[in-house]
Structure 1
Amino acid sequence: MTLFDKIWEKHVIKEIEGGPSVLYIDRHFIHEVTSPQAFKGLEKRGLPVFRPQQVVATADHNVPTLHQELPIREELSRIQVETLKENCAKFGIELYGLGHPFQGIVHVIGPELGVTQPGCTYVCGDSHTSTHGAFGSIAFGIGTSEVEMVLATQCLLQSRPKLMRINVDGELGKGVTSKDIILYIISKISASGATGYFVEFAGSSIRNLSMEARMTICNMSIEMGARGGMIAPDEVTFDYIKGRKFAPSGEAWEKKLAEWKELYSDEDARFDKEYFFKAEDIEPMITYGTNPGMGVGITGSVPAINEVEEKDRTSFEKSIAYMGFHAGETLKDHPIDYVFIGSCTNSRIEDLRTVAEFVKGRKKAAHVTVWVVPGSKQVEAQAKAEGIDEILEAAGFQFRQPGCSACLGMNEDKIPAGKYCVSTSNRNFEGRQGQNARTMLASPLTAAAAAITGKVTDVRELV
């Protein structure tokens, strides 16, 4: 059996002949954007939340990242955050709202609180729920009608996906991070290359990553079309979970640990598709287009038109025109205007430590605006305890308050039209960071280098 098989089989309550399975959901994460209509649906049908103690709620997408103690200025954002507060109070769900010490991006707080554990099923009305798969769990995003279904029944109708394994072996080079690994993989198999699959990441390069780096990998599995991504749990996983707020302890810990150690793909497990990559082939990555698959190594260039499949050429030309690039252009040394370090992909304490270590004693380029947004109140507190905020501010970076921020144009943190932003987030779609904003995805290290030099930079030249 594969790792996926072992977890799936334990959670299937009923199989519908010729149709989907009824899958039990261990934990349901909710936020202010995809939950209001679901709660309204429950009210209309006179239904309670079936198991409110298995729902984790926080405000993240619409929250401002400055002056969170004040009322939210944007009306829609304010209404959505207030509605979440009212619904949680009405249905008996604990909410980690603004001002709560556990508030933060939903995919950051689950792991750091010890809610995310191996062998479980997790869903949320957010595509990047795949992040939680880094712990050896089945985690995926769902739509609003499915949010209602899980609130009402703690179950979900779900078709079994095909299975893919992606192996990365070898030692990463200088300046290369987990973000570069996943951007490299997506550039090789495309933004639709894993459509219909659940992906297990394996190999020595993956096993050598920290938990926070593994979360970055699984977070972006959705960006190659996958239903979700996962990594088998090991001692790195167990050490990360132990002692966290909602992690098991005492005898319960020993019992769980024994169960978790059985969560791996057997040697004779079969996958529908398998890929193999070498770590030494990966260099710091940067995207040039309007989907995460349009990426190249930092010393590479935008593909020539004859290197693009004929069926994709029209969208390719439209994409690079939007970005203001041309085929064959080298991105290195291209001027940039903004840097955003944050999002559920790269806003954890390790990301901030990496950036602070690099920028210490340096100053940002005068024309560049830099926003550093911690993923949670706990990350923010840790960063302040370590003096990271002071290092960043001394470099001219803005250290803000937790939230999804400039990952998406749904709050006050938007990139102006036509401006270039090197971003550690997960998507570079047209208008994603603001109307007509131009997004270039990169690792926190590459983003920090761009902030210092004011242009796309090969960080290996500076470390």
Structure 2
Amino acid sequence: MGKTLFEKVWESHIVDSIENEQEILYIDRHFIHEVTSPQAFEGIRRRGIGLFRKNKIVATADHNVPTKDQHLPIKEVLSKLQVDTLIQNCKEFGIDLYGLGHPYQGIVHVIGPELGITKPGMTIVCGDSHTSTHGAFGAIAFGIGTSQVEQVMATQCLLLERPKTMRITINGELQRGVSSKDIILYIISKLSTAGGTGHFVEYAGSAISSLSMEARMTICNMSIEMGARGGMIAPDETTFEYIRGREFAPDGAALEEAINYWKTLYSDEDAYFDKEYTFKAERIPTMITYGTNPGMGIGIDETIPDNDSDSFKKSLKYMNLEAGSSLLNKKIDHVFIGSCTNSRIEDLRVVAEYVKGKRKADHMKVMIVPGSKQVEKQAREEGIHQVLADAGFELREPGCSACLGMNEDKIPDGEYCVSTSNRNFEGRQGPGARTMLVSPLTAAIIAIEGKIVDTRNYVNKVATA
């Protein structure tokens, strides 16, 4: 029997197998940031064992950093402490740090791919659940806990149970105005936030292979939101061209040798998956969430469903919405475009292309946060910053920002925010904030209109990010 993409990568990294079906897996790349690394460093220090392979660790500051005046000292006490601690730890242990002011600083899951650090066939971990983003390159990438961060620092390995496999196939052509963000929100709405539990998901089909790398990253990023351990997409020519010429990518003969190997990373025709699902691309609508988990999503022109569960009723109460009602024409207070899901240059281009020559609704506050200094730099070089400014949008500096409210960028209590981030939990964007997840294009259109509208009525082509 053939092997899945997941099995090929996983089995090539097994160091040893032990009892109870656990395996010791070698980790190629370890990303760290200021939130989940301090305790791990302290454990290493306390045990006096040092780092096993410090050159496999890449550090950046992203979660707690302010997105305005990054040249000034951080105002929030806890945020400053965490960022300062990361700086001290990286200096003590000799780790490369892309901190504030560094041209490579940014959200960890944005800088890895854009710098050519992320490559097909790798195993990648980070103390962050959205590490699954890197799976878009045909890598096994997943989030780990703080104790596991310490394990990788000490041994460059992890003791794990092998996940089950799932394949989600999407064939056909998307409707105009529908993007990769709509694809993944649609899948989660169908499978639920627990539908992928215990599995590593491979996304396949003509609709997937037609996507750009940045769009693929959006899909893999949110695999965790349906309970999956991670998501993967087989590398192809689109992948190879994205990697070519990046800062830490191989070049010349080394690149060609790598590509020859990367071309073997696909699921064999007779490979077995523990679960399989198939969807038709043309049936995927523009999506929006209405509740307090990413699985509570509907087509933007649909009505909110009804459910007798206490948790469902609690969610609608928090959002101040009613079952059976439509979200169309609902006034929105804030738009946030950013996060590790949708803050890449392609996302900003989609937004700028639509809003050029337009102006946001007067009451609307729009915050655009690039995923890295490189994205910010490219946006300025392309004139995107001016297009956004003319539309009344505020372009800030890189960071996780209003995705999770661990910094100064929070949505006020009781106000609605249409967001391109990945989670809409209660209080995720600030105490009492009400979050609705959408694609960058949908967010841009809502910012201009000042209310929820159907993206498909405003554009003539398929979106991307």
State the TM bucket, normalised to the shorter chain: over 0.9
Q: Measure the CA separation in 1 of the matches of 2:100 and 2:205.
A: 40
Indicate the residue corresponding to 1:407 in structure 2: 403
Indicate the residue corresponding to 1:432 in structure 2: 428
1:252-271 equivalences under 5 Å are 252-271=254-273
Amino acid at match of 1:416: P
Amino acid at match of 1:71: P
Deviation track 1:196-220 (CA, whole Å, cap 9, x = no partner) reads 1000000000000000000000000
Of 379, 382, 397, 1:383 maps to 379
Report the alpha carbon displacement of residue 294 of structure 1 after superposing the two structures with TM: 0.1
1:40-119 equivalences under 5 Å are 40-119=42-121
Q: Measure the CA separation in 2 of the matches of 1:223 and 1:331.
A: 22
Deviant stretches of 4+, over 6 Å:
none
1:238-249 equivalences under 5 Å are 238-249=240-251
Q: Measure the CA separation in 2 of the matches of 1:155 and 1:329.
A: 50
Indicate the residue corresponding to 2:179 in structure 1: 177
Q: 5+ unaligned residues in a row in structure 1: which ranges?
A: none
DSSP-derived class of the 2:295 partner: coil
Amino acid at match of 2:178: V
DSSP-derived class of the 2:177 partner: coil
Q: How many residues align?
A: 457
Indicate the residue corresponding to 1:347 in structure 2: 343
Deviation track 1:10-36 (CA, whole Å, cap 9, x = no partner) reads 101011121421100000000000000
Q: Measure the CA separation in 2 of the matches of 1:158 and 1:360.
A: 49
Indicate the residue corresponding to 2:463 in structure 1: none
DSSP-derived class of the 1:171 partner: coil
Indicate the residue corresponding to 2:252 in structure 1: 250
1:27-426 equivalences under 5 Å are 27-305=29-307, 313-426=309-422
Report the alpha carbon displacement of residue 77 of structure 1 after superposing the two structures with TM: 0.3
Q: Measure the CA separation in 2 of the matches of 1:456 and 1:123.
A: 37
The reply to whether residue 455 of structure 1 matches residue 451 of structure 2 is: yes
Report the alpha carbon displacement of residue 304 of structure 1 after superposing the two structures with TM: 2.3
Deviation track 1:207-241 (CA, whole Å, cap 9, x = no partner) reads 00000000000000000000000000000000000
Q: Measure the CA separation in 1 of the matches of 2:306 and 2:19.
A: 49
Q: Measure the CA separation in 1 of the matches of 2:66 and 2:5.
A: 39
Deviation track 1:21-68 (CA, whole Å, cap 9, x = no partner) reads 110000000000000000000000001111111100000000000000
Deviation track 1:235-281 (CA, whole Å, cap 9, x = no partner) reads 00000001100001122111111100000000000000000000110
Q: 5+ unaligned residues in a row in structure 2: which ranges?
A: 460-465
Report the alpha carbon displacement of residue 398 of structure 1 after superposing the two structures with TM: 0.3
* Percent identity of equivalent pairs: 70
Deviation track 1:89-118 (CA, whole Å, cap 9, x = no partner) reads 001100000000000000000000000000
Which piece of structure 1 moves more, 252-261 or 133-142?
252-261
Q: Measure the CA separation in 2 of the matches of 1:66 and 1:143.
A: 30
The reply to whether residue 17 of structure 1 matches residue 13 of structure 2 is: no
Amino acid at match of 1:407: C
Report the alpha carbon displacement of residue 430 of structure 1 after superposing the two structures with TM: 0.3
Amino acid at match of 1:205: A
Report the alpha carbon displacement of residue 359 of structure 1 after superposing the two structures with TM: 0.4
Amino acid at match of 1:17: E
RMSD: 0.6
TM-score, with structure 2 as normaliser: 0.98
